[in-house]
Amino acid sequence: MGTDIARAKQLLERGQLVAIPTETVYGLAANALDPLAAAAIFEAKNRPHFDPLIIHTNSLEKVLNYVEFIAPPLRKLADTFWPGPLTLLLPKKTVIPDIVSSGLDTVAVRIPKHPLTLDLLSRLDFPVAAPSANPFGYISPTTAAHVQKQLGHKVAYILDGGPSEVGLESTIAGMEENTVCVYRLGGLAISDIEAIVGPVALRINQSSNPKAPGQLKSHYAPRKPLFIGKLRELDADYNTKSVGIIAFGRFKSINPHAEIINLSESGNYQEAAANLFSALRRLDESACECIISELLPEEHLGIAINDRLKRAAAEKQDK
């Protein structure tokens, strides 16, 4: 673990795995043009091969080496939000291996906004495929220490860029016919996208055959049961148990055994997004028996935070 960009570059050129910081979460990076290197990502994460990867590079000019074209509305989004927490789903060139796109004719691409990683990408003559650096389906890492704890023995090097600023995966957008579609909610609010291209369609797939990364119904999940509802009611229902509580805004529990993590006492959505995964991780590693939370107001980044909470709770609540 460290900040040695030259070492990270050398390891990636050798086909090895390197964890990289981004403003969203830490990614598990490998040479996106090397099928064997990409396969190592799936093996390290125990990730299903039907879940496509996002490729990362440092400039729009480089992106054009890997995709057939960028439709004008998506080009507007790229010009406005790159580098940043936006991924575009674009028609791929054949240079992108099928293992990266899971056999689809599109590839997910973004330019991350982190100085260390942008420096690293500028030195490479290939893009990197970099899903979140966590075991598949588990809470995404927002610090180098998180990566070290859960994947350290499988990664050649961890580039430590400090805590992730956004703390949610990127928003994924693409085109269907003449309409901009959002396939994954994330660190860029829908309202920000619509301010540039007008109304968008939501295509938030939850099947086992996703079109874009992060669309599986149960994802980002802690190992402990997570229950979502009205927080006051859940607090009363579980007041005899050791419970972890994820709150948004001021909240005081009636449960003397509760451990409360407030995503943002002031009700700031950006602060809440940055704290979400670390809160889930901390409670999952605590002595609590289960975790309770309520959904945030469906506005701004609250929409994406709610999406992550629902996916984290899906498997437990479906049973």
pLDDT at 193 over 60: yes
How do the domains of the chain map onto residue ranges?
5-202, 226-318
Question: Can you give the pLDDT at residue 209?
Answer: 45
Question: Can you give the pLDDT at residue 263?
Answer: 93
User: How far is 215 from 185, CA to CA, in rounded Å?
Assistant: 9
pLDDT tens per residue across span 234-252: 999 998 889 999 999 999 9
- CATH number given to 226-318: 3.40.50.11030
Give the list of residues 6+ apart from residue 135 with CB closer than 8 angstroms, or none.
45, 46, 150, 151
Q: Is 209 exposed, middle or buried (0-12, 13-18, 19+ CB in 10 A)?
A: exposed
Nearest to 59 by CA among 82, 40, 37: 82
Give CA separation, 178 vs 74, 199, 227, 238, in Å: 11, 12, 39, 49
Q: Mean of the pLDDT values across residues 170-192?
A: 94
User: How far is 39 from 271, CA to CA, in rounded Å?
Assistant: 35
**5-202 and 226-318 share one CATH topology?**
no
pLDDT tens per residue across span 114-159: 999 999 999 999 999 999 999 887 889 999 999 999 998 999 999 9
Q: Mean of the pLDDT values across residues 292-310?
A: 88
Specify which residues 28 forms β-bridges with. Answer: 19
pLDDT tens per residue across span 281-295: 899 999 999 999 999
Nearest to 83 by CA among 22, 154, 2, 172: 22
Whole-model pTM: value is 0.79
Q: CATH number of the domain at 5-202, out of 3.90.870.10, 3.40.47.10, 3.40.50.10470, 3.40.50.920?
A: 3.90.870.10
User: How far is 173 from 170, CA to CA, in rounded Å?
Assistant: 10
Q: Please answer whether residues 119 and 56 qualify as being in contact, where contact means their C-beta atoms are separated by less than 8 angstroms.
A: no
Q: What is the DSSP letter of 137?
A: T
**Helix axes 5-13 and 115-123, enclosed angle (nearest 10):** 50
Place of tokens 């899906």: 314
Q: Please answer whether residues 131 and 45 qualify as being in contact, where contact means their C-beta atoms are separated by less than 8 angstroms.
A: yes
